[in-house]
Amino acid sequence: MNEFVIAATRSMRAYASRVAEYLTKFASFSEFAGQINGTGILKTDQFADGEKEVVVTSSIRGKDIVLFTSCARNEAGIGVNDAKIELYHAVDALKRAQAAKIIVFEPFVSCSRSDRTARRSSVGLWIHLKVLSSLGVRHFVTYQLHSDKSKSMLDPTISIMDDIPALTLLKQRLCDVYIKNIDTLENDVRKNWAFCSVDAGGEKLARNFSNSFGVSLVVAHKQRDYSRCNSIECVNILSAEPVAGKILWIVDDLVDTAGSVETLIRALAPMKPAEINLLAVHPVFSSPAPDRLKKLSDEKLLNRIIVTDTVACSQTCQDSIPNLEIVPSAELSAKVIKTIVCNTSMAKLLRDFNAELYLKSPTLFSGV
């Protein structure tokens, strides 16, 4: 195991510190307790004209660097474009300081939806990954990319990518808080629950949950207006079983403006489900998402919302959205880093989740 340091741009320093704290709890890292956390080694200077410069404040020569960053809404309140430029400067500074290897850990890639190749449009994700690999990043880690095809944008002979399925965090929360035991799973959940996709493209995610818990699947097919961003024309619901009386869990990888979610919930409501809930990995929550979700909750159409902390949610944002539950991901991030720096298998972190097996033996999916 090469000597390594957890670093962070300003956008994720608190998160990276939590990850470093979890790492020191592993037996193999306890002796490095005072050396792993390097979240303060990067200093960002801003010039009067708006240009930036990132400085490495202590020696990292010959060390592997795990650089946490977010170019989405973040704890430091830095805008998307500023956060990207700071990240690129940080990688360049680390490379010039002779880091042995740079691993960028970006839990949510904000440009991941800009992945369609067309003759006259830019492809934001390709630009982002190309810049990082050109600057010297040799390993890129993220959670739940918007599309599997995105992983093909990196040349594996130059830089590799680990796309970790953060859906497992949401599934474990359902088991730990809402199911708790095998009897409830078999006698209640499998009879009364159903998982619903936001659109036809999200069927794979919803089916993943359906298979994990052994419950019904509902597929929503939405028609978009591609002349405008974030716009939906209509939604059609496909289900092999009646939706009436079911506890529905809408599944998506991210919620941005919540336009798709609102349209879907209003299409489902007349079908008389017992309740409607929302599961999403990345809580982007661009305006007017908080207002839309609050309105749905106030109208008793949306019961609860469960997301992870891959995108920072301020206390104001949390207070404005009723029944919002945020599942922490720092411990999982620590486990991912442990496998990388120790060159051990990620199989446990990537295996298909099975609710029945998890309820019988939670450590089976711990990844430790």
Range of the domain at 336: 4-166+331-350
Same domain, 22 and 144: yes
Domain annotation covers residue 278: yes
Same domain, 129 and 204: no
Same domain, 270 and 127: no
Domain annotation covers residue 27: yes
Same domain, 29 and 84: yes
Residue 133 CB neighbours (<10 A): 20
pLDDT of residue 224: 56
pLDDT digits (tens, 9 = 90+) for 103-128: 999 999 999 989 888 778 899 999 99
Domain annotation covers residue 358: no
Same domain, 260 and 230: yes
d(CA 93, CA 202): 39
ω before 288 within 30° of 0 (cis)?
Answer: yes
Entry field: residues in the chain? 368
Domain annotation covers residue 90: yes
pLDDT in tens, the chain (368 residues): 778 999 999 999 999 999 999 998 886 776 665 678 888 999 999 999 999 999 999 999 999 999 999 999 999 999 999 999 999 999 999 999 999 999 999 999 999 989 888 778 899 999 999 999 999 999 999 999 988 888 888 889 999 999 999 999 999 999 999 999 999 999 999 999 999 999 888 899 999 999 999 999 999 986 655 455 545 556 788 887 899 999 999 999 999 999 999 999 999 999 999 999 999 999 999 999 999 999 999 999 999 999 999 999 989 899 999 999 999 999 999 999 999 999 999 998 998 999 999 999 887 666 66
Tell me if the pTM is above 0.75.
yes
Domain annotation covers residue 317: yes
Same domain, 57 and 184: no
pLDDT digits (tens, 9 = 90+) for 198-219: 988 889 999 999 999 999 999 9
Same domain, 78 and 149: yes
Domain annotation covers residue 276: yes
Same domain, 24 and 90: yes
Residues 135-158: b if buried by 16+ CB within 10 A, e if exposed: bbbebbbbbbbbeeebbebbeeee
Same domain, 159 and 233: no
147's tokens: 């599309």
Domain annotation covers residue 355: no
Domain annotation covers residue 185: yes
Same domain, 188 and 214: yes
Same domain, 305 and 342: no
Q: What's 181's domain CATH number? A: 3.40.50.2020
Number of domains in the chain: 2
Same domain, 16 and 85: yes
